[in-house]
Chains A and B, each alone.
Chain A
């Protein structure tokens, strides 16, 4: 600092108004400087801190990482940083310090630098900044992004996955199955005579029926690897890895039965007069050029042709002629 500046300002005034915690300790860890910021956030007055060893001033312990960093600075005269990311709250400092009030510690970024006193003693300057704001901002952004991410991939009527999520997930699931050579099952589900239901019972009842069926389908899956998505209108799709053909068929029947058991009246659906679903299933280990989704859709078409309220299974590896029959 130039002499001119020394004449104009008292360093102590600056250290007391600066928005930053400043502590200076000597080689024996005795406190030589304790600025207002530190006093305010620690609840310990300058008079109670000066000339006492740092370890004895705080009533709560300082973090072991802080203590070893301090020891290193004193021993080797090398500067040290303690980042918020890895330490959070090394010192017992609080945002608004009020006694008799449970408070959580302030998030801090700390740097410790060796300095020389005018008497040529080795001292350490500890600088503390409050990183609560940046942490708060980060948390807020993260929770916003989580909400948006969920909204972007959820169907607003049924609360199950939407088509956008399905498209992305299907691509990944197929790539995964191809790479690891395990089988993948696609179930295409369609509510039978849904247009007639809507025409007779109205759109609100139609929406309710879709919601109930979606909920019922969702209840049937339990593994983290499985998803159910609304494919469009009254059509749903399920993606499930690792199911052998037999189990996939049993599961398709389970889906059909679960919806049947809802017993939602549908006067224009012959012969059961209640809401039913048709299911097309395709299972196999996908190779290049295979299209599980198209096969499951073809299976669904066959289930419709054969009288609805049933599932049809098509293996992936069969030739196209199998489909035509």
Chain B
């Protein structure tokens, strides 16, 4: 299992775009303002090839929301924003007068919710379109440096494949870019591809 062909990647991009649309809708309801989320590209690479550029991880600290999934395929999903962007998103969502420092108390939980909404929306889109359901853990939020994150991704030998979704999030004209990363084992990737092929089959 090396990588996905273009057609399979297109199908995944479509699935996740639908998920992103659902997440945007839920977030708009909470924020009371238009939220737009798009997934411009999906990449599947081997964790050996991962670098700070593939994840646009420059310097600084990152907020990571993680959830573990199990079912037809197992995966760990990580939603990554820079810490500064994460705080900005939360403060936009809360629409408050609080300064970023004052937000710290709530940031953790609110970021969990934001990540949960985006991750669940992507999963529910997969469930609807690719026809499988996954179980999931509750989200967990951690703050880590780019090096910590890369090390963690590379060290994870059980899940040598990494699916990266680049995510654009816009709230009240504030644009933020993040990454949604799925860590997959080879068996899980094979299963995912099987489901994509089943979805593509009636079309081709």
Contacts from A to B (Cβ < 8 Å): 64-65, 68, 72, 75-87, 109, 111, 113-114, 134, 137-138, 141-142, 145
Contact = CB atoms under 8 A, between A and B. Distances in A.
A81 B124 contact: no
Nearest to B112: A81
Contacts of B84: none
Contact of A78 (B94, B110, B112, B120): B120
22 contacts: A68-B29, A75-B124, A76-B120, A76-B123, A76-B124, A76-B133, A77-B133, A77-B135, A78-B124, A79-B120, A79-B136, A81-B113, A81-B138, A81-B139, A83-B110, A85-B90, A86-B94, A86-B113, A137-B105, A138-B105, A142-B102, A145-B102
Interface in B131-182: 133-139
A285 B29 CA distance: 47
B78 to A, nearest CB: 16
Contacts of B102: 138, 141-142, 145
A30 B154 CA distance: 46
B123 A109 contact: no
Interface in B63-91: 90
Contact of A85 (B109, B116, B120, B139): B109
Given A79-B136, A84-B109, A138-B106, 17 more contacts: A64-B29, A68-B29, A72-B124, A76-B127, A76-B133, A77-B133, A77-B135, A79-B138, A81-B113, A81-B116, A82-B113, A85-B103, A85-B110, A86-B94, A138-B102, A141-B102, A145-B102
A234 to B, nearest CB: 36
User: Which of A85, A109, A114, A138 has its CB near the most chain B CB atoms (within 10 A)?
Assistant: A85
A109 B138 contact: no
Nearest to A146: B102
User: Which of B103, B107, B135 has its CB near the most chain A CB atoms (within 10 A)?
Assistant: B135
B98 interface: yes
Given A75-B124, A76-B127, A81 B136 contact: no
A83 B113 contact: yes
A82 to B, nearest CB: 7
Given A76-B133, A86-B94, A138-B105, A111 B123 contact: no
A113 B138 contact: yes
A86 B105 contact: no
Interface of B: 26, 29-30, 90, 93-94, 98, 102-103, 105-107, 109-110, 112-113, 116, 120, 123-124, 127, 133-139
A87 B116 CA distance: 15
Contacts of B123: 76, 78
Contact of A79 (B93, B103, B116): B116
Contacts of A113: 138
B109 A81 contact: yes
B93 A86 contact: yes
Contacts of A65: 29-30
B82 to A, nearest CB: 19
A142 B106 CA distance: 13
Contact of A109 (B109, B120, B135, B136): B109
Nearest to A76: B124
B120 A72 contact: yes
Contacts of A81: 109, 112-113, 116, 138-139
A83 B135 CA distance: 21
Contact of B120 (A64, A80, A145): A80
A72 B138 CA distance: 14
A83 B29 contact: no
User: Which of A68, A75, A81 has its CB near the most chain B CB atoms (within 10 A)?
Assistant: A81
